[in-house]
Amino acid sequence: MSENTPQPSGQSKLLIDRPDDFKFHLAYGVYSKAWDENASDAARAKLNELISSLAKDENGYSDFYGQIQQYRRDMSYPTSGRTRIETGRKRQWQRSQNRDARNRRHR
């Protein structure tokens, strides 16, 4: 289940993805992207250690994401862990959709 692919550096990427386990599959995607973006052997060794400990259920997902955060380049800004979602009223959305459709018909 854990196969290694040959790489020119000393570390090799672990292929332990579980597509049937959604949470682990997403975590493996984060690991894979971070592993591809980091060329340092020390960073890759730490990433391999993190994903293997997650695969063995030694650490939880929050611990995994907390430790892998420093190796990710797609996160350009620090986040607080909370995301703001703006919502609207359904009736207001329906009115705007109807108005836009009416305007498109009469152009």
pLDDT the model gives residue 28: 94
Residue 30: inside a domain:
yes
Q: Name the residue range of residue 38's domain.
A: 14-74
Which whole number is the average pLDDT over 21-35? Answer: 92
The token pair at 42 is: 């020390």
Which whole number is the average pLDDT over 16-41? Answer: 91
- Nearest Cα residue to 44 out of 31, 55, 53: 31
Q: What is the 3-state secondary structure (H, E, C) of the chain?
A: CCEECCCCCCCCCEECCCCCCHHHHHHHHHHHHHHHHCCCHHHHHHHHHHHHHHHCCCCCHHHHHHHHHHHCCCCCCCCCCCCCCCCCCHHHHHHHHHHHHHHHHCC
Residue 90: inside a domain:
no
pLDDT the model gives residue 6: 43
Residue 85: inside a domain:
no
Residue 4: inside a domain:
no
Q: Which of these ranges, 24-28, 37-41, 73-77, 101-105, has the smallest mean pLDDT? A: 73-77
Q: How many domains does the chain have?
A: 1
Residue 101: inside a domain:
no
Residue 97: inside a domain:
no
- The better pLDDT of the pair 87, 50 is held by 50
